[in-house]
Amino acid sequence: MHRFQGGERDIVIFDTVDCDPLPPGRLLSGKSPGSSAPNLINVSLSRARGKLIIVADVSYFRRHDPSGIISQVLAAAQVSATVINP
């Protein structure tokens, strides 16, 4: 994510990667002290000029970290975007 700071792209694909059986990583949950998760996630998502594609197991984050920053981002994305469920 750091290498995208300052650079925009026509399409950004943000893949959260986290899934069972492991708990969400500290970067996506933002639970570690002094976490830069909100800033890093903002950087990665705000660099899309045209399309932003988020690949995530939304139910996984709702179960494991319902109040985490990534859960908040995914909830907002679902409200304002087209969601494809397999």
Question: For the chain, which residues make up each domain, given as ranges?
Answer: 2-80
Cα 74 from Cα 70, distance rounded (Å):
6
* pLDDT at residue 46 in the model: 87
5-37 residue pLDDT tens? 567 888 889 888 888 898 887 767 666 677 777
What is this structure's pTM? 0.74
* pLDDT at residue 1 in the model: 46
User: Does residue 81 or residue 23 have the better pLDDT?
Assistant: 23
33-54 residue pLDDT tens? 777 778 888 888 888 888 888 8
